[in-house]
Structure 1
């Protein structure tokens, strides 16, 4: 009877509130009915446990104090078994909820929204509540409400407020230095005392916990919500963008600390063991196909018919999926199955051919794209190519070679920089070999240096036509030099080359006019490169590159470098 009357009383309390709060009144009714979802004005909350929140304990020997958010000491002799006492507790619970839900829209920051901004005090206060309220409440509802409001408010604002949000996180919610100092002192005390291992282990655990930034708790709390992991990914994407834009070096350093922390957390959540490999076909969910269409950055999808060709029988698309983003492939790779290694991306993007599985000897990975900027640096593309290679080798027994057909995005800009340096340098011109210099000077006479003659030749519309017998060997050699010998610190200067080489691939072949699109001609004079993945050599190539900066190349590439 007390149970039923308390529900009735609770419903009466809820009915006296503004209309939007009726949803929260229904919340408690559903909780007593043992439901695990809480519909509110902000969406649906998931309860981690009902035991920690159930008011059924209000009429047991360990009653719940809604004011303090904890169970009352059993030494208190007050009779909590009465209907009146239970009803009072329900009313008090709603007073606590109301402290966090101030206005008609149910938002903790409704007043700030009305002003169109969120000032630093609001930000700090909201983060503080989201991080610290969990420590004093056995219930999940209030922390969930506060954290959900923080997520909603964060998404609503622009980069200026988001930058301030990250600044507050670093300034006020980094490592608690006093707690860290106390933990270090405690560890030193235990080391001096020579206590048993258990005391030393506890001191080490305290030190590890104290060395974690407080904002870790916030990101973890956000990730527990529906859509929370996606929110954390988007936060890192915002942080990376803001870090690139800011000119304040102190702010950059602070943002880098935040970024490192976020990256470590995301790497744990998106460990390769938690990802599912799926092929995306024309019969896949529309949401998957839309992601392929929208996120293709290397070779744009022209229309839906083009997309249908790319997910056919001899042209395939694969993606890594995570259960937190079931409708969004995290990284997507396009592969074309051919009888021989392809040298032209236009041929791969052409009409679909009838697949003869017995004649499939080469898998050409011609595009790879990440759909989540917040997962930048996670290296998921590396694992995706390797996993797909294994799948295809099982599916097509005659498959002999797995290779990319990749652009060389920085080659043309690098060569134009060499032209400028040559024009201003007083030293000998060493960009071209003697025989190359002689041939280009003959083909384009009237220039002061062979390099100037090459620059003029490449400005001529015939550089890939009548002049090709002269320009082709020069450009291929210079492209090989750019890919293998030009370095950023000790690693490959070209970003695409660095990606594949550090993943264990070798520079296998250069392809003249492999991409004749406007973009391909503008970035690399149409030259494309095959990076070959050989299963038995991948680990060795990777180790030699990371340790010794050694780049594995084929005999064909080595001849261009000699």
Structure 2
């Protein structure tokens, strides 16, 4: 770890002594929130923030929803004040008029969230609070607007400059390993023996991003297999009786599972930085690695086939590969982006649709979501930036000639 990151970790992990036991507080939580925004003293502010967290934690879903609704309405932008500030700024664009405009444009609830975050350990509590908000506020315009404030602040607090990349291995603390098991979202980890098979062998790696304010909580992690050649089956990749390689024998790094860990950080992107950082670090540590690919699920394939009146059942492996390629290259969402969420993620990072495989994930989940199909996205480190820019500008999909040929064959067969 660099000296700066080491210092940053020290700063964030420093624990401020908390005041003693909180006195019983009968104020409504809405009054506590108003008092917190209005308080000037740091110590009294921390006490008030702790009281708000304590009161919030004791509420049921109905009470939490009511609290969120209060923040969304009573602590929103004051439109009259904002209009006045904008008029004054238009008359004279001075430092004072600009400051007044900025202050008027920011809702009081943003300052409330900042002040709550002064409590040691509060960052994790705020992430948990947003998890509740996302769950309870879905489809509610006022609460979805409130979420924009959480997301705005989290985008700053969790930007790449504050994240620390750590390797996860069999010697990592047990409480971290338990969370890896719990948070694995792509290929379930059955038990500790299964976890050992993914972490202990010399041809396996795992890396996670942590935030110094939440040192015991991985934010996102990626599992990596070091192989010779590009694999086309996750069951083969994870088989108990597979032949192990030394790291130096491998020529390919396979990112076969990427899991976001914190539901309260949905929409705050870490994955693009994680994959690129891990690929860059591995290429330095193991110069023999020449290829960086994923072995990824195609979670929207079965639903798309159903919508198109198509099926993989009874189809030859080649026909299944053709349909999967057609889906990845032509199926779009309402914005014109690839319909498949995993495709959007990797293509947005600058990856290339490299190959598709039949009978690649024969688990119940794999068969249900994609008929067992999987895809390799290739990270060509020399072309990632160019591919990313083209995708960002026009959703241009980078793919191999083989993939384009398969997609064209599917179009011709169903025309």
Provide the TM-score with structure 1 as the length reference.
Answer: 0.67
Q: Report what 1:404 is aligned to.
A: 294
Shift in Å, 1:396: 1.1
Shift in Å, 1:374: 1.2
SS of the residue corresponding to residue 218 of structure 2 reads coil
Q: Report what 1:263 is aligned to.
A: 151
Q: Report what 2:188 is aligned to.
A: 300
Q: Report what 1:487 is aligned to.
A: 332
Residue 127 of structure 1 pairs with residue 33 of structure 2: yes
CA distance in 2, matches of 1:229, 1:274: 13
Q: Report what 1:442 is aligned to.
A: none
For residues 491-521 of structure 1, the C-alpha deviation after alignment (integer angstroms, 9 at most, x for no partner) is 0001111111111111100011110111111
Residue 201 of structure 1 pairs with residue 98 of structure 2: no
CA distance in 1, matches of 2:243, 2:109: 54
Shift in Å, 1:132: 1.3
SS of the residue corresponding to residue 496 of structure 1 reads helix
CA RMSD of aligned residues (A): 1.8
CA distance in 2, matches of 1:511, 1:275: 35
Alignment equivalent of 1:335, drawn from 210, 216, 224: 224
For residues 352-410 of structure 1, the C-alpha deviation after alignment (integer angstroms, 9 at most, x for no partner) is 64332332111110111111111111110111011000111111111011111001111
Unaligned runs of 5+ in 1: 1-34, 43-105, 113-121, 192-199, 247-251, 420-450, 464-469
Q: Report what 2:280 is aligned to.
A: 390
Q: Report what 1:56 is aligned to.
A: none
Alignment equivalent of 2:20, drawn from 21, 40, 63: 40
CA distance in 2, matches of 1:471, 1:280: 40
CA distance in 1, matches of 2:304, 2:24: 53
- Asked if 1 retains the 8 angstrom alpha-carbon contact of 2:176 and 2:216, the reply is yes
- Asked if 2 retains the 8 angstrom alpha-carbon contact of 1:133 and 1:143, the reply is yes
- The number of aligned residues is 391
CA distance in 1, matches of 2:229, 2:184: 25
CA distance in 2, matches of 1:275, 1:125: 35
- Asked if 1 retains the 8 angstrom alpha-carbon contact of 2:16 and 2:120, the reply is no
- Asked if 1 retains the 8 angstrom alpha-carbon contact of 2:29 and 2:55, the reply is no
Unaligned runs of 5+ in 2: 1-14, 409-415
Shift in Å, 1:477: 1.0
Greater relative CO, 1 or 2 (CA 8 Å, sep 6+):
2
CA distance in 2, matches of 1:525, 1:190: 64
Shift in Å, 1:319: 0.1
CA distance in 1, matches of 2:92, 2:247: 68
CA distance in 2, matches of 1:524, 1:499: 17
SS of the residue corresponding to residue 367 of structure 1 reads strand
Residue 372 of structure 1 pairs with residue 262 of structure 2: yes
CA distance in 2, matches of 1:355, 1:472: 29
Residue 108 of structure 1 pairs with residue 25 of structure 2: yes
Q: Report what 2:125 is aligned to.
A: 231
CA distance in 2, matches of 1:164, 1:350: 50
Q: Report what 1:275 is aligned to.
A: 163
Shift in Å, 1:181: 3.3
For residues 197-232 of structure 1, the C-alpha deviation after alignment (integer angstroms, 9 at most, x for no partner) is xxx112111211221110111100111111211122
SS of the residue corresponding to residue 40 of structure 1 reads coil
Provide the TM-score with structure 2 as the length reference.
Answer: 0.90
CA distance in 1, matches of 2:90, 2:365: 62
CA distance in 2, matches of 1:154, 1:178: 31
CA distance in 2, matches of 1:261, 1:390: 33
- Asked if 2 retains the 8 angstrom alpha-carbon contact of 1:319 and 1:329, the reply is yes
